[in-house]
Chain A
Amino acid sequence: MSESLLNLVPKAEAAQSMKDFKSDQEVRWCPGCGDYAVLAAVQGFMPELGLAKENIVFVSGIGCSSRFPYYMNTYGMHSIHGRAPAIATGLATSRRDLSVWVVTGDGDALSIGGNHLIHALRRNVNLKILLFNNRIYGLTKGQYSPTSEVGKITKSTPMGSLDAPFNPVSLALGAEASFVARTVDSDRKHLTEVLRQAADHPGTALVEIYQNCNIFNDGAFEILKDKDQAQEAVIRLEHGRPIRFGTDLTKGVVRDPATGDLRVVTVTPENESAVLVHDAHAASPTTAFALSRLADPDTLHQTPIGVFRSVERPVYDTMMADQLDTAIEQHGKGDLGQLLAGGDTWTVVG
């Protein structure tokens, strides 16, 4: 990886602690909400970055998770539904000395704001997008979301929802994302490691965080959290390591030679060498996409977590700044008097 764009952001003068990032505002999520865990993880991780906190900005949209900026003692904007990536794009592209984070939810990012999300990803603006996915609408009190499973019974879908859900990781990969990861609210260590990699990534980093809504969709990710079930359900992706999971790592992911698709097999001495080694830096997103399709959208069985893809490609903000520099090199610094007097002119004497 090349030099991190974090070098453009001023460093904190003194060592920081988690406390420095807690604002004076009372946190108003429901007791037991998964958002608390994410907030604590982010506040706990920030001192590690060592950035001047006045140069950190959290921008959010609308929804439960979008209250996040109020609780961070940094600069922040709680904007309008779905628009945070657009607003953050304007901020990040005009202020490269800032570390800009977007906090959004499955409704905010994938429903009303889907357009802004995919375009931020394809441009590769230097944003870190934390997508809290609880597979339900919380703030509007319990309607199905664009990540809810088909047939979900909610207040707005008493006979079951009809929509096929989005897989946010697949969507992000399809939108040319250069960094895509998934993690889980309750796994502080994993969450922090993913944040670490995302923060360091030059360009847009999309982090899907499975987050429990204990009021309207409690236990949605229980299979990934329950110790007994998780071993069989969770596939932990680590760059450069064979993709194995299950009790005693008896299962592995291999490529089907006939279709090129991925499938899960029981690992034997004969097929062990065929187990796929995870390459997050692969130039092609094909395998990452195949990995994102392993999970069963209903049961979440065989859900990969970790960094699916982390590749380097030109960052929009950098290129925008470069064009400004190039324009000055080519034409000199803009001279307003010259500009206004350009074109055909004539003089009237008094």
Chain B
Amino acid sequence: MTSQVSNEAGEALVGEQRSVPAGSHHGEEKEVRRLDRVIIRFAGDSGDGMQLTGDRFTSETASFGNDLSTLPNFPAEIRAPAGTLPGVSSFQLHFADHDILTPGDAPNVLVAMNPAALKANIGDVPRGSEIIVNTDEFAKRAMAKVGYETSPLEDGSLAGYRVHPVPLTTLTVEALKDFGLPRKEAERSKNMFALGLLSWMYHRPTEGTETFLRRKFAKKPQIAEANVAAFRAGWNFGETTEDFAVSYEVAPATKAFPPGTYRNISGNLALSYGLIAAARQADLPLYLGSYPITPASDILHELSRHKNFGVRTFQAEDEIAGIGAALGAAFGGSLAVTTTSGPGVALKSETIGLAVSLELPLLIVDIQRGGPSTGLPTKTEQADLLQAMYGRNGEAPVPVVAPRTPADCFDAALDAARIALTYRTPVFLLSDGYLANGSEPWRIPDLDELPDLATPFATGPNHRTADGTDVFWPYKRDPLTLARPWAVPGTPGLEHRIGGIEKQDGTGNISYDPANHDFMVRTRQAKIDGIQVPDVEADDPDGARTLVLGWGSTYGPITAAVRRLRREGQPVAQAHLRHLNPFPRNLGEVLKRYEKVVIPEMNLGQLATLVRARYLVDARSYTQVNGMPFKAEQLAAALKEAIDV
């Protein structure tokens, strides 16, 4: 849960893991300790099913009532060569008995399914942490493949770690010997064995995973039962083996959550639901024109499953056709969306310009990834902000909305739809790979909490000419919003033609008149500048002199860093932007209240550039472009340095 309000205990305890003996009520022979939070990282080969394992542990944890935040991290290759460093896939999960904000900086527990997974991840794991290794995979050749000349399990290089050597593969095969499966097939269940073991270690509920497995493999009941058996065997192994003397409890985060019904949700799923909800609230059919691209494709997949909501999904021949079809549907009166990532935005730019000129509602969802060019398809970055702001020919302003957490993607989608529909404009929704694949608990909203997005179409003439004739002018604007009427084909009497050529104010007829062009350019800009967005609020309990300003997915790490600083007695103010265009009206005034403004971004300072240009504020950038979210500790140190300078 990432609301800014946190219970006192949570504030005090974020940071180091706290352990309290909890008595041994779970079985006399084993000690149970209580922890306030745990960070687990599952790591293995791309084919080892680490994402699934992480997802399942997350579901168990969510249903148990912990707060949580996740960070899947996987290569762009579907199956990189087995056992190599580039082929390592991992899933990090942070869960706690209190309100947490990030997937955690460093794992307390690393599950390494092979030498490559150990090698690729050990650098992130602090001494003293627990490491569970699948010893079966530590053969000479496999170790040599990743540069281990001697076994790290024996050469002392893991001294200081609490290493649990477990022959996961052998134990799994042994557990499944009655199933009569080929060895290779049986070995595939080793991730479920590991999941069972970790589920025992952290007292996770197991029914959900068993149900899930039986549903997933409904057509292969033998495989389903084998996986359930491996899962249970892992649990039982933990309970019986002496190597695992302690298990841990992390109590539900009851105080972190306002009352309500919750589920765990990823950013892309929340965004998909937000779009479906927006269409319902607008009473318009949803139309998605899209071309598959990582990390946005899941939205296309998800929306394709909900045709019974009247959702049309069109997998186009390319990015350009994706947005083209969406724009055509917008002309026809749909709530139109295109989903993509940075390279796709580049291809769509001309059509976005057309949408600006046509003044039709259109959502452009950009799940940002590392760039430039193909860049890092599966890694996160925030480097498309200036592309969204300025990446078009001519003066073509487009509103920009950015969600801050995975669950917030739901609300951000509704907000983007509100702006698009109210002002008849394309709108950028800038999510990123971290939000898209990461997940957190989400309080499921009541439907009557959702905003009313009803948008009336034009139904009749809107202008009387000098000779008294009533006519329809497609570019006669609403005086308040400056939006033009949305007159959809099929409406008698409103036949009109629109296009990308400059239009005469009002009539919409082609016009090359210089004064008219000047007026139209300024009017389109004024329409975007006039969009109603809420004021930004600075969270500043201590009267700080430094403001840290962020946008988008850096919200979690920045807030965690700010909490650390405040806990150390260092006052610091925090503000976070959802609206990048237009900026909140009070932003300049807020910035000027502070001696220093620091802007952490996962780019080379794009928001800082905008803020400096717009407000003449000497904002400082703190940037990171390594494809990963900020770590709270490192960010706290950087902020401290900026404050102290």
Contacts and interface: CB of A to CB of B under 8 A. Distances in A.
Contacts of A337: 447
Contacts of A74: 495
A90 B490 contact: no
- Dominant SS among interface residues on chain B: mixed
Interface in A293-337: 320, 323-324, 326-328, 330-334, 336-337
Interface in B278-299: 280, 285, 287, 289
A73 interface: yes
A79 B500 contact: yes
A159 interface: no
A346 B261 contact: yes
Interface string B245-265: 000000000100111111110
Contacts of B490: 10, 52, 54-55, 95, 97-98
A95 B312 CA distance: 11
B2 to A, nearest CB: 15
Contact of B350 (A25, A80, A327): A80
A149 B306 CA distance: 50
B254 A348 contact: yes
A323 B307 contact: yes
Nearest to B313: A320
Nearest to A324: B307
B498 A344 contact: no
Nearest to A344: B63
Interface string B176-188: 0000000000000
B444 A340 contact: yes
Contact of B354 (A57, A80, A90): A80
B374 interface: no
A326 B307 CA distance: 9
B320 A86 contact: yes
A281 B290 CA distance: 34
Contacts of B64: 346
Given A79-B354, A344-B264, A90 B499 contact: no
B308 A333 contact: yes
B283 to A, nearest CB: 12
A337 B492 CA distance: 36
Contacts of A334: 276, 306, 308-311
Interface string A54-83: 111101000000000110111111111101
A88 interface: yes
Contact of A75 (B257, B325, B330, B497): B497
A126 to B, nearest CB: 13
B358 A77 contact: yes
Contact of B329 (A73, A75, A91, A340): A91
B533 interface: no
Contacts of B409: none
A17 B445 CA distance: 55
Nearest to B254: A348
A339 B263 contact: no
B336 A98 contact: no
Interface in B162-177: none
Contacts of B263: 341-346
Nearest to A122: B317
B300 interface: no
A140 interface: no
B497 A69 contact: yes
A94 interface: yes
Interface in B320-350: 320-321, 324-334, 336, 350
A327 B308 contact: yes
Given A69-B499, A91-B329, A339-B273, A349 B261 contact: no
A115 interface: yes
A350 B308 contact: no
A350 to B, nearest CB: 4
B336 A345 contact: no
Contact of A78 (B312, B493, B497): B497
Given A54-B494, A79-B499, A90 B336 contact: yes
B490 to A, nearest CB: 5
B317 A115 contact: yes
B359 to A, nearest CB: 12
B332 A90 contact: yes
Interface residues of A, number: 63
A346 B326 contact: no
A79 B327 CA distance: 10
B358 to A, nearest CB: 7
A97 B495 CA distance: 15
Given A53-B495, A91-B331, A327-B308, A347 B260 contact: yes
B437 interface: no
B493 A54 contact: yes
Nearest to A83: B324
Nearest to A25: B509
A348 B63 contact: no
A89 interface: yes
Interface in A116-146: 116, 119
Highest count of chain A CB atoms <10 Å: which of B257, B325, B491: B325
A86 B328 contact: yes
A87 B262 contact: no
B35 interface: no
Nearest to B510: A70
Interface in B49-100: 59, 62-65
Contacts of B287: 90, 94
B466 to A, nearest CB: 15
Interface string A78-118: 11110100111111111101100000000000000001100
A336 B316 contact: no
B221 interface: no
A336 B208 contact: no
A23 interface: yes
B268 to A, nearest CB: 14
A293 B208 CA distance: 64
Nearest to A115: B317
Interface in B572-624: none
B129 interface: no
B306 A57 contact: no
B197 interface: no
A39 B444 CA distance: 56
B484 to A, nearest CB: 14
Given A76-B497, A94-B312, A324-B307, A87 B328 contact: yes
Contacts of A93: 312, 314, 325, 329
Nearest to B318: A115
Contacts of B63: 344-346
Interface string B490-516: 111111111111000000011000000
A86 B261 contact: no
Nearest to B357: A80
A68 B493 CA distance: 20
Contact of B444 (A69, A75, A80, A345): A345
Contact of A86 (B262, B324, B447, B493): B324
A54 B262 contact: no
Nearest to B59: A344
A290 B308 CA distance: 45
B497 A94 contact: no
B321 A57 contact: no
18 contacts: A54-B493, A70-B510, A72-B497, A75-B495, A78-B497, A81-B350, A83-B320, A87-B328, A90-B326, A95-B489, A119-B321, A332-B308, A339-B276, A341-B444, A344-B62, A347-B260, A347-B261, A348-B260
7 shortest interchain CB distances as A-B pairs: A78-B499, A90-B328, A86-B324, A334-B309, A90-B325, A350-B259, A327-B307
Given A80-B500, A116-B321, 17 more contacts: A53-B495, A57-B331, A57-B489, A76-B499, A89-B325, A94-B285, A95-B490, A327-B308, A332-B308, A333-B309, A339-B276, A340-B445, A341-B261, A342-B263, A345-B262, A345-B263, A347-B260
Interface of B: 59, 62-65, 208, 254, 257-264, 273, 276-277, 280, 285, 287, 289, 306-312, 314, 316-318, 320-321, 324-334, 336, 350-351, 353-354, 358, 444-445, 447, 489-501, 509-510
